Structure 1
Amino acid sequence: MRKLKNEELNRPDLDQFKESEKTPIVLVLDNVRSMHNVGSAFRTADAFAIESIALCGITAQPPHREIHKTALGATESVEWKHYKNTMEACKSLRDEGYTLMAIEQVDDSISLESFKPSVDQKLAVIFGNEVFGVEEEVVAFADNSIEIPQFGTKHSLNISVSIGVVLWDLVSKMRFG
């Protein structure tokens, strides 16, 4: 066994990637304060070829050196838009036919492994602020909530970890059945 070189990975170049079919998921960042988390979100969005990212409220926007540190160029490959607040983004996405799913611990949440998106379903997955989570108003407006099962003593995961876990699960279900 040997590690593959980058040129052996057969990844698309920037133009090919931009023209490629994307998984119909929009990543909504609700007032995310860490620029490293924002950069990580871009990098993960690129890895899973999702449609776009909605940067809401205080969430930092590219170009920024701190975002670039973790995004490693993904701000160039992933489409994004900034919204004044998260409700504005959610209303717009609902009007475009997206199902709004807050990633949050709520009384009626669906456990991630139980959530079954349809192959052609358009999803907007909403990740909240590192301290306060998804805004109450946004949780109430969402179509439902997905919760990542956890078995330890801590009550949450870092947002960048949560994004990776949720996107991998959703993309694998939507692309591979």
Structure 2
Amino acid sequence: MDPRHIDGDLETILLTEEEIQGRLAEMAAEISRDYEGKDLLLLGVLKGAVMVMADLSRHLPRHAEQDWMAISSYGSGTRSSGVVRIVKDLDTDILDRHVLVVEDIIDTGLTLSWLVSNLRSRGPASVEICTLLRKPEAEKTPVDVNYVGFDIPNAFVVGYGLDFNEKYRNLRVVGTLAPHVYT
């Protein structure tokens, strides 16, 4: 969806479709070099990472299997309770596999830290992280991220997989939501 179709809902466009696609192409080239000769499994975290995973994998100049997980860590409202629950687990056995977790955004790092620990307990050859967006100012738990598309301010963003009440995921850009939409 083009941002013109939601006139007034976005306060600012942080990243255009061209900027996102350009950076994903660069990241795919880095990933391809780093995993040369290795059997790579891309693990997307639902629902937000769908767009990132699809476009990143299309930019890869090599084969890469894909699998998906859905995890939940919500308490009241938009604040995490710190309790993580697997809603949809992997279909693939990751024993001795090279796993690259693909995320849409990293903010506090709490849920992702839990996920990486859970995955490492399954005996993979490696577990690394790739994210399109990271909010350094929101970090509460340090997470080692190998591939970062963009560092962004600690603001509520939507688009390119990120939602507000399940809307705006299919925006081709990333932008800050106007306060009148969520107040």
Which one has the bigger helix percentage?
1
Same fold (TM over 0.5): no
Band of TM-score, shorter chain? under 0.3
What TM-score does the superposition give when structure 1 sets the normalisation length?
0.26
What TM-score does the superposition give when structure 2 sets the normalisation length?
0.25
Which one has the bigger strand percentage?
2
